[in-house]
Chains A and B, each alone.
Chain A
Amino acid sequence: MGRYLIRRALFMVLVIMIVSFLTFMIFVKLPAGDPARRAVGRTTTPEQIENARLAFGLDKPLYVQYWRFLKGFIPYPGLWLDEDVYFSYGSFEPVKNELGRRIPITGILAIGAAVIWLAIGIPIGILSGVRRRSVADRAAMIFAIVGVSMPIFWLAQLLLYAFWFKLQILPSSGIPIGYVGWGGAVRAALEGRFILPWVSLAYINAAFYARMVRGNLIETMNEDYIRTARAKGLSERRVIYKHGLRGALTPVVTMLGLDVGLLLGGAFITETVFGLPGIGQLAVQSIGTNDFPTVMGVTVLGAFIIAIANLVVDVAYAFVDPRVRYT
Chain B
Amino acid sequence: MAQPLLEVKDLKVHFQTDDGLVKAVDGVSYSLQAGETLGIVGESGSGKSVSSLTVMGLITPKQANITGEVFFQGQDLLKVPKDEMRTIRGEKISMIFQDPMTSLHPFYKVGYQISEAILEHQDISKKEAFDQAVEMLARVNIPHPRDRASQYPHEFSGGMRQRAMIAMALSLNPDVLIADEPTTALDVTVQAQILDLIDRLKSEFNAAVIIITHDLGVVAEHCDNIMVMYAGKAAEYGNTDDIYYKPLHPYTWGLLSSIPRLDEEKKERLNPIRGLPPSLIQVPPGCAFHPRCPYKFDPCDRDVPELLPVDGHHAAACHLSLADKEKIRDEEVLVRR
Asked whether A322 and B87 contact (CB < 8 A) given A225-B102, A233-B121, the answer is no
A250 to B120, CA, bound (A): 25
Q: Which of B89, B99, B107 interacts with A224 by CB under 8 Å?
A: B99
Overall SS of chain A's interface:
helix
Asked whether A247 and B107 contact (CB < 8 A) given A223-B102, A225-B102, A233-B91, the answer is yes
A227 to B89, CA, bound (A): 12
Q: Tell me the count of chain A residues lying within 8 A, CB to CB, of chain B.
A: 21
Decide: B86 and A228 in contact? CB cutoff 8 A: no
Decide if B209 is an interface residue (CB 8 Å cutoff): no
Decide: B107 and A231 in contact? CB cutoff 8 A: no
Q: How far is the CB of A322 from chain B (nearest CB, A)?
A: 5
A246 to B56, CA, bound (A): 25
Return the chain A residue nearest B171 by Cβ.
A232
Asked whether A231 and B106 contact (CB < 8 A) given A322-B152, A323-B152, A323-B154, the answer is no
Name B148-162 residues within 8 Å CB distance of A.
152, 154
Decide if B50 is an interface residue (CB 8 Å cutoff): no
Q: Residues 48-66 of chain B: 1 if any A CB is under 8 Å from the residue's CB, otherwise 0? A: 0000000010100000000
Decide: A231 and B94 in contact? CB cutoff 8 A: yes
Asked whether A228 and B103 contact (CB < 8 A) given A233-B90, A234-B116, the answer is yes
Q: How far is the CB of B111 from chain A (nearest CB, A)?
A: 13
Q: How far is the CB of A253 from chain B (nearest CB, A)?
A: 12
Decide if B168 is an interface residue (CB 8 Å cutoff): yes
Q: How far is the CB of B240 from chain A (nearest CB, A)?
A: 27
Q: How far is the CB of A216 from chain B (nearest CB, A)?
A: 14
Q: Which of A232, A322, A323 interacts with B116 by CB under 8 Å?
A: A232
A234 contacts across to B, CB distance below 8 A: 86, 90, 116-117, 120
B130 contacts across to A, CB distance below 8 A: none
Decide: B152 and A233 in contact? CB cutoff 8 A: no
Decide if A38 is an interface residue (CB 8 Å cutoff): no
Decide if B97 is an interface residue (CB 8 Å cutoff): yes
B107 contacts across to A, CB distance below 8 A: 246-247, 250, 320-322
Decide if B70 is an interface residue (CB 8 Å cutoff): no
B94 contacts across to A, CB distance below 8 A: 231-232
B108 contacts across to A, CB distance below 8 A: 246
Asked whether A228 and B91 contact (CB < 8 A) given A233-B86, A233-B120, A234-B120, the answer is no
Q: How far is the CB of B217 from chain A (nearest CB, A)?
A: 25
Q: How far is the CB of A218 from chain B (nearest CB, A)?
A: 15
Decide if B105 is an interface residue (CB 8 Å cutoff): yes
Decide if A17 is an interface residue (CB 8 Å cutoff): no
Q: Residues 71-92 of chain B: 1 if any A CB is under 8 Å from the residue's CB, otherwise 0? A: 0000000000000001111110
B106 contacts across to A, CB distance below 8 A: 225, 247, 321-323
Q: How far is the CB of B176 from chain A (nearest CB, A)?
A: 12
Decide if B104 is an interface residue (CB 8 Å cutoff): yes
B56 contacts across to A, CB distance below 8 A: 231
Decide if A37 is an interface residue (CB 8 Å cutoff): no
Decide if A243 is an interface residue (CB 8 Å cutoff): yes
Decide: B105 and A243 in contact? CB cutoff 8 A: yes
Decide: B103 and A225 in contact? CB cutoff 8 A: yes
Return the chain B residue nearest A233 by Cβ.
B90
Decide if A195 is an interface residue (CB 8 Å cutoff): no
Q: How far is the CB of A18 from chain B (nearest CB, A)?
A: 36
Asked whether A235 and B152 contact (CB < 8 A) given A224-B102, A228-B165, the answer is no
B168 contacts across to A, CB distance below 8 A: 228, 232
Q: How far is the CB of A113 from chain B (nearest CB, A)?
A: 29
Q: How far is the CB of A247 from chain B (nearest CB, A)?
A: 7
Return the chain A residue nearest B117 by Cβ.
A232
Q: How far is the CB of A318 from chain B (nearest CB, A)?
A: 12
Decide if B95 is an interface residue (CB 8 Å cutoff): yes
A227 to B91, CA, bound (A): 15
Decide: A233 and B58 in contact? CB cutoff 8 A: no
Decide if A230 is an interface residue (CB 8 Å cutoff): yes
Decide: A227 and B97 in contact? CB cutoff 8 A: yes
A246 contacts across to B, CB distance below 8 A: 105, 107-108
Q: Which of A230, A246, A321 has the most CB of B within 10 A?
A: A230
A229 to B168, CA, bound (A): 11
Decide: A228 and B105 in contact? CB cutoff 8 A: yes
Q: How far is the CB of A21 from chain B (nearest CB, A)?
A: 42
Decide: B102 and A233 in contact? CB cutoff 8 A: no
Q: How far is the CB of A232 from chain B (nearest CB, A)?
A: 4
A183 to B152, CA, bound (A): 46
A233 contacts across to B, CB distance below 8 A: 86-91, 117, 120-121
Name A145-182 residues within 8 Å CB distance of B.
none
A11 to B242, CA, bound (A): 69
Knowing that A223-B102, A247-B106 are A-B contacts, what are 20 other residue pairs whose CB atoms are under 8 Å apart, sorted by A's residue number?
A225-B103, A225-B106, A227-B58, A231-B58, A231-B94, A231-B97, A231-B169, A232-B89, A232-B90, A232-B168, A233-B86, A233-B88, A233-B90, A233-B120, A233-B121, A246-B105, A246-B107, A320-B107, A321-B106, A322-B152
| Interface pairs A-B: 7 shortest CB-CB | A233-B90, A232-B117, A224-B102, A225-B105, A233-B89, A232-B90, A224-B103
A interface residues with partner B (beta carbon < 8 Å): 223-225, 227-235, 238, 243, 246-247, 250, 320-323
B interface residues with partner A (beta carbon < 8 Å): 56, 58, 86-91, 94-95, 97, 99, 102-108, 116-117, 120-121, 152, 154, 165, 168-169
Chain A to chain B contacts (Cβ below 8 Å), 6 pairs: A231-B90, A231-B94, A235-B86, A235-B120, A322-B106, A322-B107
